Amino acid sequence: MSVPEILRVMNDEDAGVAAAVSVAIPDITRAVDLAVAALSSGGRLVYQGAGTSGRLGVLDAAECPPTFGTDPAQVVGLLAGGPDAMFRAVEGAEDSRELGAGDVHGIGLTSRDLVVGIAASGRTPYVIGGLDRAREIGAATVALSCSPNAEISAHADVAIEIDNGPEVLTGSTRLKAGTSQKLVLNMISTATMVRLGKVYGNLMVDVRPSNEKLVARAERIVRAATDCDLETARRALAAADGHAKTAIVAVLCDIDAQTARERLSAGAGFVRDAVRPRS
C-alpha cells in the first residue's frame, strides 16, 4: 500500500469512533453523576489503568487544574508501574491485581471517592484489583473498556463498553481504543466540571492564567462574558488576582473583587447564581 492508502484506511476506521462512543452516552451520563457526587462531597475522581489506558487517565487528570482550576489532588491518575511507565513500558505491571489494589490503597482512598478503571481489553488484572479494592472501601466505581461483555464490567457500579470493532493493526489498542477512551474521559471530566460550576456558558471561567497564553485567554474570557473592553478586563483580573470567574462577577455586578468572591461563595461557585439581583 502507498502512504496515502495507509492513511485513508486509518482515517476511515477512525471515522466510526465517535459513533461508537455515542451509543454509550447513557452509561457515560451515569459516570458523570457519580463524579459530580464524589467531588461535591469532598472526594476525588481517580483514574486507574495500565499502558495507553493508564496514560490517558493521567493526561486527563493533569489537564484539570489548568483548565478548570481544580486542586491537583481532586482528579488523580494511577498508572501501572508508576510514573516511569508514562514514558516506557514496565513489563508485568498490568498483570498484578495486588499492585492495582495497593496503588488504590496507597492514595488513601475513601468511600467519598470515585475510581474509573480503564482497560481497552476489558480484563486487565491491575485494573480489576483496583476496582475490587475500591468497592471494598465503599467507593463508587466505573469500568471503561473497549470490549463488549468485558470482564471488568462485573467489577464496577457502572460499565462503559465502547465497541470500536477490530483495530487497523490487530491488537494495537493505542489506535481506535485509545481514541475512544480519550473521548470518553474528555466527556466525563468536562461534563463534571460544567455541573460543578467551573464553566459559564462555554467559557472556562476557572482557568488558571499560569503563562502568557492563559493570561490572554483569561482576558478574552472576561470580555466575552461581560462585553467589556480590554482595559476593563485587565483591571478586573488584576483586582481578582487573575481569577476570571471573580473578575466576571465584579464587572457584571459593578462590585469590587472581594464582594464578588463573597457572592461566588454564596452561590457555590456558580457565576449565574452570583450575578442574580439581590432582593
The catalytically annotated residue of 13, 94, 161, 219 is 94
Stretch (H or E) spanning 58: helix 51-68
Q: What is the DSSP secondary-structure string of 223-270? A: HHHH---HHHHHHHHHHTTT-HHHHHHHHHHT--HHHHHHHHHHTTT-
Beta strands in the chain (DSSP E): 45-49, 75-79, 114-119, 140-145, 158-161
63 is catalytic: yes
**Long-range contacts at 134-137 (CB < 8 A, ≥ 24 apart):** 134/46, 134/104, 134/109, 137/104, 137/109, 137/110, 137/111
Angle at 27 between CA 150 and CA 78, to 5 degrees: 65
DSSP state of 157: S
Using CA atoms, how far apart are residues 133 and 149, in angstroms rounded to an integer?
21
136 is catalytic: no
Extract the C-alpha cell encoding 10. 486509518
At residue 104, the 3 state secondary structure works out as helix
The catalytically annotated residue of 63, 151, 167, 262 is 63
The residues that are catalytic are 63, 94
